[in-house]
Amino acid sequence: MRRKRRDKNSKSSKVVPGIMISLCALIIIYLGMTIYFKNNFYFGSTINGINIAGKTVEEVEKELSSQIDTYSLELEERGDIKEQIKAIDIGLKYDGNKIKELKDEQNTNSWVPGLFKKKDPVMSKVVTYDEELLNKSFDKLSCFDSSNKIEPKNASFNYTDDGYEIVDEVKGNIINKDALHDSIVDAIINSKSKINLETENCYKEPQYNSKSQEVIDTKDLLDKYTDLKITYSLGNDTEVVDGSKIHNWLHVNDKMEVTFDEEKISNYVYKISSMFNTFEDTRGFVTTTKKTIKVSGGNYGWIVDKSKEVKDLIQTIKNGQSITKEPIYSQKAMSRDKNDIGNTYVEINLTKQHLWFYKNGALVVEGDFVSGNASTNTLTPAGTYILNYKEKNATLKGEDYSSPVEFWMPFNGNIGIHDASWRTEFGKNIYMTNGSHGCINSPYELASTIFKNIDAGTPIVCFYE
């Protein structure tokens, strides 16, 4: 039993001194490393990836100095263009005091946790540059050369026989100066050797590219507008408006909005008008005596309302409607046939001083009249006119007359058909020396019958044989 106790005491006497020795060794190591890190950077320390572990301030200054002296920043630009900004161009240098400050930030007595807490001070804390020199170098960059500028352009559209196709955007090479300046400064203070202007978003980009939803939506709208057929029909004559015409009227603005060129559409409607208008046309007219004559002048006929038709055509396109239509008229005639007079009209033969009133092809009334005075140069003008309106019990006034009439039917300004109670004789050659101021002076019964059966808009055909 005594022997076992001695063995146990013997083991204890060996362990205690070993522990003490280990503790002393650790203390020595700790103190030694504390002294070491008083002048040296922690293990694992870097400045922007430059290993400064275990180095003194002087050693770090020397290494940074050599790197700064040879430093250059390469700019990778579109078109495989590259250019550089060198340290000497911008007065780049390190600040020794800043390096010492970084070293002093290390707590010498806390080097143990410092081994596990990695610290990478940014280079901006130890380098400086001349802002004025940098700006001069910046402004001299070839990427700002105006002679090589290519403006960015949005994706656009090209019309083909199969509809619209999207044309890719043009990226161009216009620099966003603020973005590039910021990227260069960041690269310099962080010792980056190169920057790519594309990835750094230093270019002004087009607002819409070929994949933008706005571009796709605009293409669909353009296709809708051009994938239709509008047919103007006039008897056997037709004029078709389809994509081959419509695409020339469409524009896309910088907001991807489709707009209409109203001037071009107006020019087209002018062409359509010449097809549909009969106003002031010279007409072939078959008289009651079966003689075919030419009648020119007057205010009768179809007139296309160009401004309204432009708006209506645009709206039809916007609706995507394929339709057959006539244009909108500001004035209509009685018939859309080649003979637009139709079969309801007043035929006034100024040579014979006789008129006929036909309604729906049937003769309603006929009779003699007295027209404008030839001797005073107030002959009634020939031409095809439209009855403006009819009025009961009117007073006709001129410079030297005031004449009350019971039936007033004007068709050419102040010229019209009316009763003339002051006359007892009509027809013959009275108009040559004792005619009217231009009106058609008619017997009471003739004027009354016409008045009761005629409507505004009825053609009045006046002619001399």
Dihedral pair phi/psi, residue 270, rounded to 5° = -60, -40
255-293: b or e for each residue (b if 16 or more CB lie within 10 Å)?
ebebebeeeebeebbeebbeebbbbebebebebeeeeeb
DSSP one-letter code for 17? H
454-464: b or e for each residue (b if 16 or more CB lie within 10 Å)?
beeebbbbbbe
Half-sphere exposure of 47 (CA within 13 A, CB side): 23
What lies within 8 Å, CB to CB, of 282 at 6+ separation is 294, 295, 296
Of 202, 418, 437, 462, which residue is the catalytic one? 418
Catalytic residue at 418? yes
- Residue 326's identity, in one-letter code, is E
Of 143, 202, 437, 439, which residue is the catalytic one? 439
Kind and range of the H or E run holding 355: strand 354-359
Long-range contacts of 252-257 (CB under 8 A, 24+ apart): 252/156, 252/157, 252/218, 252/222, 254/154, 254/207, 256/154, 256/208, 256/212, 256/214, 256/215, 256/217, 256/218, 257/218
Catalytic residue at 202? no
The residue among 385, 297, 296 whose CA lies nearest residue 334 is 385
Please answer whether residues 449 and 409 qualify as being in contact, where contact means their C-beta atoms are separated by less than 8 angstroms. no
What lies within 8 Å, CB to CB, of 398 at 6+ separation is 414, 437
The pairing of strands 283-286 and 292-295 is antiparallel
Please answer whether residues 215 and 222 qualify as being in contact, where contact means their C-beta atoms are separated by less than 8 angstroms. no
Catalytic residues, by residue number, are 418, 439
